[in-house]
Amino acid sequence: MLTSICGINWGDEGKGKMVDLFSEDYDIVCRYQGGNNAGHTVINERGKFILNLLPSGILRENVVNVLGMGMVIDIRHLTEEIAHLREKGVKISPENLKISDRAEITMPYHVLMDCLEEERLADKKFGSTRRGIAPAYADRFMKKSFRMGELLYPEVLREKVKEIVAWKNLTVARGYGAQPISEEETLDYLLSYGEALKPYICDVGLYLTGAAKAGKNILFEAQLGALRDIDYGILPYTSSSLTLAAYAPLGAGVPNLRLDKSIGIMKAYSTCVGEGPFTAEYFGEKAEALRKAGGEFGAATGRPRRVGPFDAVASAYGIRCQGADELVLTKLDILSIYEEIEVCTAYELDGKRLHDFPYPDLLDRCKPVFEKVKGWHTDISKCRKKEQLPQAALDYIAYIEDLCACKITYVAVGPERDAVIRMDG
């Protein structure tokens, strides 16, 4: 079974928790895009973990974790993340962690360029996480990047460093007027952080193909959501990677394999970190109340998230982009604060009602159309069975299913691993 877990909205839907839960039935968990701009929060019996680069399956002993070729990997961050997990008793070895030799390395100069560009853009900034993701992907397409596999061949690396540093300084030093990058420091950085990672680097495509042939179950863990996809999202307020399920086999390193299932993780209300149009946004006290109830502050950056009610227009688009076969509705417990719950059911553009997500450039002119449904206004965080949910909560779930034309198979009602209700069982 090859399954993808992906985000339907702007990210932060609670994918980490669901991957952690579902990984019980999987042998391998694979990240296939993005880098350490991800912040997946997992809470289990061993404590709270925030994972930026490592797949959420790393917290299960029998799961093999793969960092796929579609990723951009900050090797210093990865080294620190591994050390931090080890301190908390998580076992990490080449047996349970495999890193694609074709994945790109995010360099310190990528982080620098990310910051320089956001500062240059000033009030027109893209809202980057400033972790070097966009510059790293840009270099990949310029064919001027370092790949993980090169860490195994220092002679190749030495030659390449000379060329890349000279080229990079044309932009860093001559373009932005920043301090030039040093050839020696770049090589030292790669060799020193690369050393400890060498045993994990391999052809993960070969490994995954063999595993699939042997009948192993593989879970592909996406980062961010459909609306942050570089091609299908709200450009330029997107990530620089492909966040869609369709990219999972390619980004993991197995273009020869097909997904069996795409599970979309969708939040019971909307959140968005950073800049860009966010049609159903709440402001003022209304926003403050929802943000506080949901603890909506970025796991990777600590930034307060923008919040709003469930957006059926954007979510239906996200479901289509992700080709979701089924949905998990997360954080339903947070809506317990309301006696009446608002839902954005349409957008209004120049006096016309839109139900289909428009071309992104039109979003600035779209106004949300809110409808109200009855709330349950009671704590549901201890519910573990469908029958324990109040009728108003069941009605809300059915209403969302109807708006999105997709089945909700699980509902999450708390951050803990077991705070999940199966809806189709």
Residues carrying an active site annotation: 12, 40
Return the DSSP state at 303. P
Hey, which bits of 268-354 come out as E strands?
A: 270-272, 306-308, 310-311, 326-330, 340-349, 352-354
Nearest to 303 by CA among 277, 278, 331, 273: 273
Alpha-carbon distance of 193 to 339, in angstroms, equals 53
CB of 264 to ligand GDP, least distance (A): 11
CB of 65 to ligand GDP, least distance (A): 15
Q: Quick one: 7 or 194, whose CB is closer to ligand GDP? A: 7
User: 212 Cβ partners below 8 Å, 6+ apart?
Assistant: 2, 218, 254, 257
At residue 423, the 3 state secondary structure works out as coil
Element (H, E) at 422: strand 420-422
How would you class 115 by CB atoms within 10 Å of its CB: exposed for 0-12, middle for 13-18, buried for 19 or more? middle
Assess contact for 363 and 234: CB atoms under 8 A: yes
How would you class 310 by CB atoms within 10 Å of its CB: exposed for 0-12, middle for 13-18, buried for 19 or more? buried
Return the DSSP state at 113. H
Give the residue nearest to ligand GDP (CB): 412
CB of 265 to ligand GDP, least distance (A): 6
- Chain residues in the site for ligand GDP (CB under 6 A): 7, 11-17, 39-41, 43, 299, 330-331, 333-334, 412-415, 419
CB of 412 to ligand GDP, least distance (A): 3
CB of 187 to ligand GDP, least distance (A): 34
Q: Is the omega angle on the peptide bond into residue 236 within 30 degrees of 0, that is, cis?
A: yes
Q: Quick one: 156 or 299, whose CB is closer to ligand GDP? A: 299
Q: Quick one: 294 or 368, whose CB is closer to ligand GDP? A: 294
CB of 3 to ligand GDP, least distance (A): 16
User: 384 Cβ partners below 8 Å, 6+ apart?
Assistant: 418, 419, 420, 421
Alpha-carbon distance of 140 to 37, in angstroms, equals 17
Q: Quick one: 36 or 169, whose CB is closer to ligand GDP? A: 36
Q: Quick one: 17 or 147, whose CB is closer to ligand GDP? A: 17
Q: Quick one: how far is CA 420 from the chain centroid?
A: 20
CB of 133 to ligand GDP, least distance (A): 15
Q: Quick one: 14 or 233, whose CB is closer to ligand GDP? A: 14
Q: How many CB atoms lie within 10 A of CB 313?
A: 22
Q: Quick one: 229 or 333, whose CB is closer to ligand GDP? A: 333
